[in-house]
């Protein structure tokens, strides 16, 4: 089953304002000047600078070039249509368990925003009438457990934790068992993200997945990789590593509010073949929006209404 959730267009538009300013103002400037071959080169650079990726930048520029030959005028419309076409190749809806709790594993490099995104998801699901349980499987640092506990109390979520240094797979096992016993509808599992011990991190994720499967066959239903939009193309390399060991069903792209390179959504979907499911639009608990391609493209190219 797939699920739609509402998002706040205003927050998406505000978060994308830096990217929009660079991109659509640049396009408007070029259009006003008249599109010749030199302008097309500048246009391609604008696309590239927004982190849309080399391929997409070239593809969009070609579409505009084509339009110019046909002496048609709706350049923005053509870019919009092309971007939507690219973004709609993936299904951005959430996966929902047929029955029992839906389990989501949250993975990614430290500092990308895993724990904060879990808090935001807890809030979103609670508002959607669900009961949420958090599993504190980032047992590496005591502070990580405390941080999650604080978010649990702020968002009214339940929490299952172990002591610092406990086996993360055992914590996941306990969290899912508690969720089943208590009829919880949504479980979110926080994990560690220490990149310097890559192999053991990937083994740890494998064990966590196995523990989930043992308690609820078919779970985790979603494995969401948290990527930081401000790290640009590097995010794609990170994603490839994780995807190899823990197949991801979607991406949470955080910190879109802090970058003029919001176009990274497109190469992420294109190169990984997985959908972006949520975008982070700030540090507050309401600053996570389900990803909707139409809304995103509108906010990228047009304005805040
Ligand atoms: N501006 C902004 N900051 C964010 C966003 N998501 C997370 N952060 C910040 O990123 C930092 C690291 O987040 P945290 O959840 O602890 O990362 P973790 O190590 O992956 O669990 C915190 O200061 C968060 O407030 C976002 O969408 N926008
Ligand atoms: Mg964390």
159's CB contacts (< 8 A; 6+ apart) are 133, 134, 135, 136, 148, 149, 152
If you measure from the C-alpha of residue 146 to the centroid of ligand 1, how many angstroms do you get, rounded to a whole number? 15
Handedness of CA 161, 165, 169, 170 (dihedral sign): negative
Q: What pTM was computed for the model? A: 0.95
pLDDT score at 72: 58
pLDDT of 197 above 90: no
pLDDT of 2 above 80: no
Residue nearest to atom 7 of ligand 1 (CA): 113
Q: Which ligand is nearest to the CA of 108?
A: 1
Residue nearest to atom 6 of ligand 1 (CA): 113
For residue range 169-188, list pLDDT tens digits in order: 999 999 999 999 999 999 99
Q: Which ligand is nearest to the CA of 262?
A: 1
Ligand 1 pocket list (CB less than 6 A): 108, 110-116, 193, 226, 254-255, 257-258, 280-283, 287
pLDDT score at 233: 83
* Token representation of residue 40: 């097309």
- Mean pLDDT across 111-126: 96
Angle ∠(22,26,31) on CA atoms, nearest 5? 160
**175 or 240, higher pLDDT:** 175
What single-letter DSSP state applies at residue 33? H
If you measure from the C-alpha of residue 129 to the centroid of ligand 2, how many angstroms do you get, rounded to a whole number? 25
Distance of CA 120 to the CA centre of its chain: 12
> Which ligand 1 atom sits nearest the alpha carbon of residue 254?
27
Residue with tokens 């047009």: 302
Residue nearest to atom 25 of ligand 1 (CA): 283
For residue range 6-40, list pLDDT tens digits in order: 778 999 999 999 999 999 889 988 888 888 899 99
If you measure from the C-alpha of residue 83 to the centroid of ligand 2, how many angstroms do you get, rounded to a whole number? 33
pLDDT of 4 above 70: no
If you measure from the C-alpha of residue 168 to the centroid of ligand 1, how many angstroms do you get, rounded to a whole number? 21
Q: Classify each residue of 274-301 as buried b or exposed e, where b means 16 or more C-beta atoms within 10 Å of its C-beta.
A: bbbbbbbbbeebebbbbbbbebbbbbbb
Pairing of strands 102-107, 276-280: unpaired
Angle ∠(135,139,142) on CA atoms, nearest 5? 110
305 pLDDT band (50/70/90 cuts)? low
pLDDT score at 3: 62
User: Among candidates 205, 289, 276, 206, which has minimal Cα distance to 235?
Assistant: 276
- Between CA 177 and CA 158 the distance in angstroms is 13
Is residue 142 packed enough to be buried (19+ CB in 10 Å), middle (13-18) or exposed (0-12)?
A: exposed
> Which ligand 1 atom sits nearest the alpha carbon of residue 281?
27
304 pLDDT band (50/70/90 cuts)? low
- Between CA 85 and CA 210 the distance in angstroms is 37
If you measure from the C-alpha of residue 138 to the centroid of ligand 2, how many angstroms do you get, rounded to a whole number? 7
CATH of domain 94-301: 3.40.50.300
* 275 in Cβ contact with 300 (< 8 Å): no
If you measure from the C-alpha of residue 144 to the centroid of ligand 2, how many angstroms do you get, rounded to a whole number? 6
| Mutation pick for ligand 1 pocket among 151, 189, 254, 278 (CB with most ligand atoms within 8 Å) | 254
**168 or 74, higher pLDDT:** 168
* 284 in Cβ contact with 15 (< 8 Å): no
**245 or 111, higher pLDDT:** 111
Backbone φ/ψ region at 263: left (φ over 0), alpha (ψ -120 to 50), beta: alpha
Q: Which ligand is nearest to the CA of 288?
A: 1
If you measure from the C-alpha of residue 77 to the centroid of ligand 1, how many angstroms do you get, rounded to a whole number? 34
Report CA Rg, the chain: 21
Q: Does residue 162 sit in helix, strand or coil? A: coil
- Between CA 3 and CA 105 the distance in angstroms is 17
Handedness of CA 241, 167, 144, 194 (dihedral sign): negative
């Amino acid at each position: 089953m797939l699920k739609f959730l509402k998002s706040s267009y205003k927050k998406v538009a505000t978060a994308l304002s830096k990217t929009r300013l660079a991109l659509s103002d640049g396009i408007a400037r070029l259009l006003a000047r008249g599109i010749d071959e030199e302008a097309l080169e500048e246009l391609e650079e604008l696309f590239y600078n927004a982190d849309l990726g080399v391929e997409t930048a070239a593809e969009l520029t070609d579409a505009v070039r084509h339009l110019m030959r046909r002496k048609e005028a709706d350049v923005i419309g053509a870019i919009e249509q092309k971007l939507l076409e690219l973004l709609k190749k993936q299904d951005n809806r959430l996966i929902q368990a047929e029955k029992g709790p839906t389990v989501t594993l949250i993975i990614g490099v430290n500092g990308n925003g895993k724990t904060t995104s879990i808090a935001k998801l807890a809030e979103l699901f609670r508002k959607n009438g669900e009961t949420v349980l958090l599993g504190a499987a980032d047992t590496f640092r005591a502070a990580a457990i405390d941080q999650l506990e604080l978010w649990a109390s702020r968002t009214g979520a339940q929490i299952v934790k172990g002591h610092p240094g406990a086996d993360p797979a055992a914590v996941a096992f306990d969290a899912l068992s508690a969720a089943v016993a208590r009829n919880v509808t949504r479980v979110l599992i926080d994990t560690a993200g220490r990149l310097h011990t890559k192999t053991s991190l990937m083994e740890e994720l494998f064990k966590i997945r196995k523990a989930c499967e043992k308690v609820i066959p078919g779970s985790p239903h979603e494995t969401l990789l948290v990527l930081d939009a401000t790290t640009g193309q590097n995010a794609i390399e990170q994603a490839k590593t994780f995807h190899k060991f823990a197949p991801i069903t979607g991406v949470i792209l955080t910190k879109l509010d802090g970058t003029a390179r919001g176009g990274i959504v497109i190469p992420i979907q294109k190169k990984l073949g997985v959908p972006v499911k949520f975008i982070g639009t700030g540090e507050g608990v309401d600053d996570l929006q389900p990803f909707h391609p139409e809304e995103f493209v509108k906010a990228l190219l047009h304005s805040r209404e």
